[in-house]
């Protein structure tokens, strides 16, 4: 979808480089000293740049329908194309904004469904109604129970737990004066657990998003896994459909579970990923 098919070794190298690049964003030491996360991130960024640079000529020539090729082929009304640097920067950003967040969300949903087999059975029953049909957008939007589970998973484990913004004018928040030009943090990881908004916020309860309750309507920024306002994620609807499509196929093909006493631990160094890789018992139906 984004970069077309590549060999496993190359894909693994790109994935390692990408993880190092993302982790460097939250490095405390902002200098490329040996052994630091920041230095590893700079090296990872170079690997990604080299990767896209090598494949640019093929993408420029066309012949594929992935987004990398589409960016290389895109032209403005004046016939201008993105420069090589533009394409590379767009693709590296896309890996984080459109790929990593989706994989984190899919992982989180799979985890919560493993922990709550009653909900796994419930959403699977809705998917089974379609049989082997290739689902279109209307079909995916009709998976309403899965939609509830995804929203609750995004609440409990926001893929982007903190978003930085800068105030454009003097303001006050909860009685605190904040002058213009101040960096502020918007934290879904905190908002999503506010007891004034959410009933038993630590509990997995997808029905809190059901039309009869809609706890997320308590405040316009109560549920913000995609941000909000003018800078709300433009890929929100695509991302939800993408995750639904993946999970629908998983539900149709497999059942999965975790040990009854298992609780995942998440590494929030950059974006949340399971520390132990999230071991599950996966069985084909």
The closest of 238, 219, 267 to 137, measured between CA atoms, is 238
Q: What's the pLDDT at 268?
A: 84
Highest mean pLDDT among 22-31, 100-109, 115-124 belongs to: 115-124
Query: What is the Cα gyration radius of the chain?
Result: 21
What mean pLDDT is predicted for residues 186-190?
91
Torsion, Cα of 195, 197, 201, 204 (10° steps): 170
Given a cut of 80, whether residue 125 has pLDDT beyond it is yes
Q: What is the pLDDT of residues 138-163, one digit of tens each?
A: 999 999 999 999 999 999 999 988 88
What mean pLDDT is predicted for residues 167-176?
94
What mean pLDDT is predicted for residues 124-131?
97
**Mean pLDDT across the chain, nearest whole number?**
92
Q: How much is the pTM? A: 0.80
CB 22 within 8 A of CB 45: no
What mean pLDDT is predicted for residues 40-62?
93
Given a cut of 60, whether residue 216 has pLDDT beyond it is yes
Q: pLDDT band at residue 229, thresholds of 50, 70 and 90? A: confident
What mean pLDDT is predicted for residues 59-71?
86
Q: What's the pLDDT at 5?
A: 58
Q: What's the pLDDT at 2?
A: 59
CB 119 within 8 A of CB 111: no
Highest mean pLDDT among 65-74, 150-159, 184-193 belongs to: 150-159
Highest mean pLDDT among 2-11, 96-105, 238-247 belongs to: 238-247
What mean pLDDT is predicted for residues 240-269?
95
Residue 72 annotated as binding? Answer: no
Q: What would the two tokens of residue 131 be?
A: 């049989």
What mean pLDDT is predicted for residues 183-193?
92
Lowest mean pLDDT among 5-9, 50-54, 194-198, 230-234: 5-9
Q: What's the pLDDT at 95?
A: 80
Output the CA–CA distances (angstroms, integers) from residue 142 to 18, 24, 251, in the order listed.
Answer: 34, 39, 15
> Which residue ranges make up each domain of the chain?
1-82, 83-284
CATH superfamily of 83-284: Cytochrome P450 (1.10.630.10)
Q: What's the pLDDT at 124?
A: 98
List 111's β-bridge partners, or say none. Answer: none
Give percent above pLDDT 70 in the chain.
Answer: 98
Torsion angles phi and psi, residue 136, rounded to 5: -95, -175
């Amino acid at each position: 979808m984004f970069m077309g098919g590549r060999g496993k070794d190359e894909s693994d190298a790109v994935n390692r480089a990408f993880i190092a690049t993302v982790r460097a964003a939250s490095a405390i030491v902002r200098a490329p000293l040996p052994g630091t996360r920041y230095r590893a991130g700079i090296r990872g960024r170079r690997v990604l740049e080299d990767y896209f640079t090598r494949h640019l000529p093929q993408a420029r020539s066309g012949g594929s329908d992935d987004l990398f090729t589409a960016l290389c082929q895109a032209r403005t009304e004046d016939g201008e194309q993105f420069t090589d640097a533009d394409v590379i920067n767009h693709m590296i950003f896309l890996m984080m904004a459109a790929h990593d967040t989706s994989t984190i969300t899919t992982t989180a949903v799979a985890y919560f469904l493993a922990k709550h087999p009653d909900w796994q059975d419930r959403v699977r029953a809705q998917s089974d109604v379609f049989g082997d049909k290739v689902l279109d957008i209307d079909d995916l939007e009709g998976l309403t129970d899965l939609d509830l589970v995804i929203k609750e998973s995004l609440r409990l484990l926001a893929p982007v737990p903190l978003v930085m913004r800068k105030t454009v004018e003097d303001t006050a928040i909860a009685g605190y004066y904040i002058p213009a030009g101040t960096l502020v943090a918007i934290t879904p990881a905190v908002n999503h657990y506010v007891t004034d908004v959410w009933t038993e916020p630590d509990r997995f309860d997808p029905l809190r998003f059901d039309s009869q309750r809609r706890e997320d309507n308590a405040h316009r920024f109560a549920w913000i896994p995609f941000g909000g306002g003018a800078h709300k994620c433009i890929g929100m609807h695509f991302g939800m459909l993408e995750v639904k499509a993946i999970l629908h196929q998983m539900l149709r093909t497999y059942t999965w579970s975790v040990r009854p006493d298992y609780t995942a631990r998440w590494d929030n160094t950059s974006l949340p990923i399971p520390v132990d890789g999230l071991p599950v018992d996966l069985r084909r139906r």
